[in-house]
Amino acid sequence: MRNPNAGQRLLSQRVRDIPSSTIRGAMKLAADATACGDVVNLAQGLSGFPTPQAFKDEAIAAIAANRNQYCDTFGHPLLRQAIAKKYQRSGLPVDWETEVTVTCGVSEGINLALLTVVNPGDEVIMFEPFYENHRPNILIAGGVPKFVQLRKPDWTFDRSELARAFNKRTKAIIINNPNNPTSRVFTLDELQFIASLCQKWGTLAICDEIYEHMVWDGRRHVMFSTLPGMEERTFTCSGLSKTYNVTGWRVGWVIAPAVYTEALRRVHDYLTLSAPTPFQYAGICALESPPQFYDDLVSEHTALRDRLAGHLQAAGFNFLLPQGSYFFFADCSPFGFEDDRQLAQYFAEVLKVIAVPGSAFYQPGQNTNLVRFCFAKPLEMLDLAGERLLALASRVKN
């Protein structure tokens, strides 16, 4: 019989260092729990609402018109122009020919940025908790992650801790703003402080701004590259996925100065060649959405956030009311569980609610007492989750 582990010793060190995704694990929990009854799945960050019809029609029309072959490797020129226009509207002049690359989602974009600039042993600063992908992304590029804590309850960072993390080996810092999982929207003052350290140490900024339009309560998302001196040292990564509710289309982009873009495009060419062609056509239409589209996005999501906030509060969770993105990162300490994986298991099997255990967003081996819920779901779903989570209230020790 074949030994299933025989190939283990041939695996690269790079791959051995990368854990499997906890978010994916939560989706498996959801699938298993669904087999034994109805579950409310608030785990993976994706909307429970249909994609706007106009975007779907564009994609279907592109396929019907035989736009099914490789696209321009760097992105369809009309899409790159639409992306450049979008940034120009926000006060950032962007040259679509030399500074925009269309990628397979932000996931590819962050990998590309890191592969373009990180040499083995270079340090890359990231805030912890962090979006699950970013640590493996650094490891794949051969970099060394350096962690700076975002602390409960308001998920801010200590400025001297951040300043101490920079040194002459620091090649880049990853800034995910609005932040997944904490839902923080960094203030102008915080971003200016980060920018001043980037200037001081000659550090590049790799910015994941995928939730840029998901900012609540009148807050403003500040594009990091618009800060003085940052345009020339920033990779701005964003995409269609969250704003236009098309996470499966895999269309994102990277904006970077021409010298970095030229190099990054070579990596992109050999890695994925191009993002899916019909969805790039649909993206041109999505990027032309009127201001009302973005206003509706905010008002609709704010209502959903507030509904789940009420339920979580009633059940006894402690949390920061989300400032941006569509996540609650909630503290479960009052409920007396040993660790967050046990907690997520209990949620799935007993309460039939699926959430992501907080340790997904920390270095391996940590235990957090936190869970992440996605609130971009229909009200009935949030109400059902609320009803089920209310059972936790009886576990709270006074």
Query: Site for ligand GLN (CB under 6 A): how many residues?
Result: 6
φ/ψ region of 12 (left if φ > 0, alpha if ψ in -120 to 50, else beta) reads beta
CB nearer ligand GLN, residue 233 or residue 242: 242
In angstroms, what is the minimal distance from the CB of 211 to ligand GLN? 9
Nearest residue to ligand GLN by CB is 45
CB nearer ligand GLN, residue 44 or residue 289: 44
Letter string b/e over residues 292-303, b meaning 16 or more CB atoms within 10 A of that residue's CB: eeeeebeeebee
The label of the residue with tokens 């450049």 reads 84
Q: How far apart are CA 4 and CA 68, in angstroms?
A: 39
CB nearer ligand GLN, residue 46 or residue 61: 46
Q: How far apart are CA 94 and CA 105, in angstroms?
A: 19
Of 180, 183, 225, 261, the one binding ligand GLN (CB under 6 A) is 180
In angstroms, what is the minimal distance from the CB of 208 to ligand GLN? 10
Q: How far apart are CA 346 and CA 340, in angstroms?
A: 10
CB nearer ligand GLN, residue 23 or residue 84: 23
Q: Give yes or no for residue 313 binding ligand GLN (CB under 6 A).
A: no
In angstroms, what is the minimal distance from the CB of 44 to ligand GLN? 4
CB nearer ligand GLN, residue 94 or residue 382: 382
CB nearer ligand GLN, residue 21 or residue 187: 21
Rg, Å, the chain Cα set: 21
Of 41, 42, 45, 208, the one binding ligand GLN (CB under 6 A) is 45
Which amino acid belongs to residue 64? Answer: A
Q: In the window 113-172, what residues touch ligand GLN (CB under 6 A)?
A: 132
CB nearer ligand GLN, residue 162 or residue 376: 376
C-alpha distances in angstroms, 375 versus 27, 231, 355, 359? Answer: 16, 33, 11, 19
In angstroms, what is the minimal distance from the CB of 378 to ligand GLN? 18
In angstroms, what is the minimal distance from the CB of 26 to ligand GLN? 9
Closest by CA to 284, choosing from 61, 63, 78, is 78
Closest by CA to 33, choosing from 340, 357, 381, 350, is 350
Q: In the window 9-38, what residues touch ligand GLN (CB under 6 A)?
A: 21, 23
- Is residue 183 within 8 Å of 328, Cβ to Cβ? yes
In angstroms, what is the minimal distance from the CB of 348 to ligand GLN? 16
CB nearer ligand GLN, residue 214 or residue 256: 214
Q: Give yes or no for residue 230 binding ligand GLN (CB under 6 A).
A: no
In angstroms, what is the minimal distance from the CB of 133 to ligand GLN? 6
- Is residue 206 within 8 Å of 103, Cβ to Cβ? no
DSSP letters for 24-39: HHHHHHHHHHHHTS--
In angstroms, what is the minimal distance from the CB of 184 to ligand GLN? 15
In angstroms, what is the minimal distance from the CB of 45 to ligand GLN? 3
CB nearer ligand GLN, residue 44 or residue 81: 44
Q: How far apart are CA 161 and CA 164, in angstroms?
A: 5
Q: How far apart are CA 326 and CA 180, in angstroms?
A: 8
CB nearer ligand GLN, residue 177 or residue 180: 180
Q: In the window 317-346, what residues touch ligand GLN (CB under 6 A)?
A: none
- Is residue 283 within 8 Å of 355, Cβ to Cβ? no
Q: How far apart are CA 141 and CA 138, in angstroms?
A: 5
In angstroms, what is the minimal distance from the CB of 56 to ligand GLN? 21
State phi, psi for 225 to the nearest 5 degrees: -70, -10
Q: Give yes or no for residue 44 binding ligand GLN (CB under 6 A).
A: yes
Task: List contacts with ligand GLN (CB under 6 A).
Answer: 21, 23, 44-45, 132, 180
